[in-house]
Structure 1
Amino acid sequence: MHPAATPRIGITAVGSHLPARRLTSWQLQDEITAGAELALPARMLEKATGIRTRRFAAEDEYASTLAVGAARRALAAGRLHPDDIDLLLFASATRDLCEPATAHIVQAELGTRAHALDVSNACNSFLNGIDLARSMILAGRARRALVVTGETPSRAMRRDPADTAALREGFAGYTFGDAGAAVVVEAVERGGILDIAARTASEHWQAGGIPGGGSRHPRGDEYSYFRGGGKELRGIFEQIGPAALADLAHRTGLGWDDYARVLVHQVTVPYLERFVELTGAPADKLVLTVPELGNIASATLGVQLDRVKPQLSPGERVLMIGLGGGVSLMTMVWEAS
């Protein structure tokens, strides 16, 4: 007897959600320098990052709000009822509360009755969530999963830096924007997730992040802001990225020409240009989101996938490349069904 073939698991529906409020980098620069003795060159933020605008959640919008908006669109795209979901993963770098899991808040809003839990790994949270959903389906622990993210990193942005040193320490935070994304993961007859891998460099965990909210710094506004050096993080990714992509090509036999689209986490425009230069990725296959949305953390790849999925034909492949603090790099190859 021949062993049964491993079932194919794929992404069958996608949704995304953007908050209504739009803020230009020019407006943001005016906001963070108001009342402070900071004399910055005109449009410095835009020129340094290539980010023209970004979306910010309103005061009564939360990480769960954005996730629910995206989830409803994904369910509608898949013509699914909330009862059709038996695993719900909220996979995000931000959340509503320390406890309970934000997945339960999303579930209460959607009306699902699934096994619900959170997955968190900085900007790779969403890819990790898809990977976990796939694994649980293969293990027979779920039949159809809804993986959602709601990112509100704008709330970790220091809006009132006291001086140039504080501005420099929190500069990476000024790239942030807010967004939500969701995918349905289930068995498919063809295509699906062909390959997924991760590479970590955890010795660099202090390179950037939000220190507050955990047992080290449970309270205090000073620790609630993103701090860290974008250049340091970029240097780390440049060290581990080429080897990870070379391993992917060796493992799968696929090159850039084999992908219809390449989705990559985007922090700034110069960062993305350096990625193209370093890897040889074809620029015309990228999906640009950072100039209009900024760095939307783990929602980046979901928003990009939502934009390109209607254009894909069965059999076309998409490469997703995730970069996250910690530090981790993830790759996923998905084939449209």
Structure 2
Amino acid sequence: MPYAQIGPIAVHFPEKVETNEELQREFPRWDLALIEEKTGIRQRYIAAEGETSSDLAVAAAEKLFADQQIDPNSIDFLLFCTQTPDYPLPTTSCLIQDRLGLPTHCGALDFNLGCSGYVYGLAVADGLIQSGVAKRILFLTAETYTKYIDRADRSLRTIFADGAAATLVTAGDMPSLRGFKFGSDGSGADMLIVGDGGARAPEDAIPPRHRKRWKSRLYMDGPSLINFTVDAVPQLIDQILQQEQLTDADISQYLMHQATWKMLDELRIRLELEPERLPIELAEIGNTVSCTLPILIDQLRKSGRLDRESVNMLIGFGVGLSWAGCLWQDLAGETAG
């Protein structure tokens, strides 16, 4: 039976970089030192006006194809995860298929998930490969959350960033992904929401959990999200370990959605983990939503912090509410081109 493996990854960011120093000059009253201490973020990438998630995704895919000498005709399925699609319809993945010159017999699917989206996408890819439907899947994540944020929104502008990642998921002889577990709780939709732009009239939209302090289309209740995370993620870890008959000692690293330093540090404390077992690598990037996990994997590979023998846990959590996790061994690495 074939099994899905996370092959090479290519990352693409917009040209514009926004630093905390620039924000401090624009808003002298903001305490950027305190904000940076909590978020762990020093700079963010910002999509240009008119630059969309498909533009970023196509650039990431083209980089992947060029760097790994991948023939676009070898791709038999395209998965695209975003919460900032180009249009309500048509499906953005179909537009990407055409722009990349992928064959017309290639399947193309969008799915709308945020911070848990990478793990969900890996599960879909694993199912497609194990069922024999696909052998080489182009899995793209791309977000332009900054387009939802008002310039004067201190709570969001200092956190969210734009970017894209392209992952080649290939069929291998050994299972590298296993133990998938998922969770969802729509009663927490009011913690992180954009209440306009869909078919439901804004006046009938789900109201934000608390008073909306900023003009941004995007609303986030940070404290409630932290409380949700530090409760749901440890339970998710326990479920995966019990299902796979493992213990914490069997896990090399916990690779988690890179939300903010404060949230991840709360999890490190709650889980009693050494810093190197829960890496935090968002200072120069920011929170890129569905892209944080592939970006993190790419960073760890390039710095030599992943190997074939180690068992790691991938964990995503956030908007929805939605969360997901699985076990992963890097059996393919950079050799799956």
* TM-score, length basis structure 2: 0.86
CA distance in 2, matches of 1:70, 1:255: 36
| Map of 2:77 onto structure 1 | 87
Runs (5+) with no aligned partner, structure 2:
204-213, 332-337
| Map of 2:125 onto structure 1 | 133
Q: Is the Cα–Cα contact under 8 Å of residues 41 and 284 in structure 2 kept in the other structure? A: yes
Runs (5+) with no aligned partner, structure 1:
1-5, 162-166
Task: Determine whether 1:15 maps to 2:10.
Answer: yes
CA distance in 1, matches of 2:31, 2:295: 32
Task: Determine whether 1:286 maps to 2:278.
Answer: yes
CA apart distance, 1:63:
0.8
CA apart distance, 1:62:
1.8
Task: Determine whether 1:247 maps to 2:231.
Answer: no
SS of equivalent residue, structure 2 residue 197: coil
| Map of 2:262 onto structure 1 | 270
Task: Determine whether 1:40 maps to 2:30.
Answer: yes
Equivalent AA in structure 1 for residue 281 of structure 2: T
CA distance in 1, matches of 2:98, 2:312: 33
Change (3 A) 1:305 1:217: farther
Match of 1:201 among 185, 191, 210: 185
| Map of 2:64 onto structure 1 | 74
Q: Is the Cα–Cα contact under 8 Å of residues 184 and 323 in structure 2 kept in the other structure? A: yes
Alignment of 1:39-118 (within 5 A): 39-41=29-31, 43-76=33-66, 78-113=68-103, 114-118=106-110
Q: Deviations over 1:89-138 (max 9, x none)?
A: 11122222221111122222211122112011122222222211211222
| Map of 1:159 onto structure 2 | 151
Task: Determine whether 1:178 maps to 2:162.
Answer: yes
CA apart distance, 1:270:
1.2
| Map of 1:295 onto structure 2 | 287
Equivalent AA in structure 2 for residue 129 of structure 1: G
Q: Is the Cα–Cα contact under 8 Å of residues 12 and 165 in structure 2 kept in the other structure? A: yes
SS of equivalent residue, structure 1 residue 290: coil
| Map of 2:209 onto structure 1 | none
CA distance in 1, matches of 2:17, 2:32: 20
CA distance in 2, matches of 1:41, 1:224: 20
CA distance in 1, matches of 2:316, 2:96: 24
Match of 1:121 among 113, 118, 133: 113
Task: Determine whether 1:188 maps to 2:180.
Answer: no
CA apart distance, 1:203:
1.6
CA distance in 2, matches of 1:281, 1:109: 44
* TM-score, length basis structure 1: 0.86
CA apart distance, 1:78:
4.4
Equivalent AA in structure 2 for residue 13 of structure 1: P
CA distance in 2, matches of 1:110, 1:19: 19
Aligned length: 318
SS of equivalent residue, structure 1 residue 215: coil
Q: Deviations over 1:303-335 (max 9, x none)?
A: 011122353332333321101211111112111
CA distance in 2, matches of 1:42, 1:193: 40
Q: Is the Cα–Cα contact under 8 Å of residues 60 and 164 in structure 2 kept in the other structure? A: yes
SS of equivalent residue, structure 1 residue 315: coil
CA apart distance, 1:241:
1.8
SS of equivalent residue, structure 2 residue 87: coil
CA RMSD, Structure 1 to Structure 2 (Å): 2.4
Equivalent AA in structure 1 for residue 200 of structure 2: R
